């Protein structure tokens, strides 16, 4: 039951993302707090895809090809949207776990964003048409690595 629900939840996230596109350029006027809300929501969306893909990698579920394609497309969009959510001026927000190094060390942070964008793009290309499970798992490992590489240096531990 739970597993089916998770697949459905991911599909709903995909649908929601398609309907309400994330801010696409830096001149969208959002308050810092709104940026934080969108940023954290997108990170949780990342996490929901990671959850279903991990379950599939373990052989616990099989994600239908059309859902896999949708996750790929949503991930591609996230890869493009997430950089905007770390724009200048969005630092120092209370309740944010984003480390100040994001803004004091922007060149390295950009590399992390680029690695994530590249990995999500590859994942999307691969899931356009039904791909074999091993290839999907391998592309997912790369996406996962991009998450971890960024979190290691730029995400503060959870407060509780």
CB 52 within 8 A of CB 10: yes
Closer residue to ligand HEC (CB): 11 or 117? 117
Rounded-to-integer distance, Cα 111 and Cα 118, Å? 10
Q: How far is the CB of 32 from ligand HEC (least distance, A)?
A: 10
Closer residue to ligand HEC (CB): 4 or 95? 95
Closer residue to ligand HEC (CB): 46 or 131? 46
Q: How far is the CB of 39 from ligand HEC (least distance, A)?
A: 5
CB 101 within 8 A of CB 109: yes
Rounded-to-integer distance, Cα 138 and Cα 57, Å? 9
Q: How far is the CB of 98 from ligand HEC (least distance, A)?
A: 4
DSSP state of 48: H
Q: How far is the CB of 63 from ligand HEC (least distance, A)?
A: 15
Rounded-to-integer distance, Cα 53 and Cα 141, Å? 9
Closer residue to ligand HEC (CB): 1 or 47? 47
Alpha-carbon radius of gyration of the chain: 16
Residues that bind ligand HEC (CB under 6 A): 36, 39-40, 43-44, 46-47, 50, 96-98, 112-113, 116, 143, 146-147, 150-151, 154-155
Rounded-to-integer distance, Cα 78 and Cα 121, Å? 10
């Amino acid at each position: 039951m739970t597993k089916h629900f998770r697949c459905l939840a991911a599909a709903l996230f995909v649908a929601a993302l398609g309907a309400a596109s994330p801010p696409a350029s830096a001149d969208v006027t959002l308050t810092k707090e709104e940026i934080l809300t969108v940023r954290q929501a997108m990170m949780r969306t990342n996490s929901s895809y990671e959850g279903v893909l991990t379950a599939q990698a373990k052989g616990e579920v099989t994600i239908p090809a059309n859902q896999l394609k949708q996750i790929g497309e949503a991930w591609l969009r996230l890869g493009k949207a997430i950089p905007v959510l770390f724009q200048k001026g969005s630092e120092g927000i209370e309740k944010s776990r984003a480390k100040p190094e994001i803004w004091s060390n922007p060149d390295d942070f950009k590399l992390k964003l680029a690695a994530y964008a590249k990995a999500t793009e590859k994942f999307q290309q691969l899931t356009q048409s039904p791909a074999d499970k091993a290839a999907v798992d391998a592309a997912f490992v790369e996406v996962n690595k991009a998450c971890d590489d960024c979190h290691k240096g730029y995400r503060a531990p959870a407060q509780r």
